Amino acid sequence: MGKQLTRIGVSLPDELLTYFDRSFVDASPYSRSDVIRNAIMRYIQYYEWMEQVKGERVGLFEMIYNPLEKGLSASINYILCESGNSVLSSVLVALNNDDFLRIIIMHGEGEYLIKQVEKLMALKGIKYSKMTTINLFG
């Protein structure tokens, strides 16, 4: 990537920006722009990694979401049902009134698992998500 910089505008909720500054910018010798650039690069690296997941895999998908978000729980359940036998187990934990943690263990072709997880990650109301895959079979 080149050194030429382009200025962009990003709109964020006040509480997210406050949390971001307190958690990352204030505790770091780097500027807000530096931290955001680094976060974008890590996000790109994560998606490049996801594109390379091939072959038979076991996957662990974690997400935190608000169960009160209209239609979100139904959408999650629909995607899980659509995934059929690839979902081995799903654990749901109520962290508080506004946050549920769901951990899904999946098995199958890596590319298929990634497509299903991307559907989940795209849902409005998902606060946190992370996918890890393991190639146990060679």
3-state helix, strand, coil in the chain (%, to 5): 40, 25, 30
Each residue's pLDDT tens digit in the chain (138 positions)?
557 888 888 888 898 888 888 887 777 787 888 888 888 888 777 777 767 777 888 999 999 999 999 999 999 999 999 998 999 999 999 999 999 999 999 999 988 888 898 899 999 889 999 888 888 765
Structure tokens at 1: 């990537």
pTM of the model: 0.66
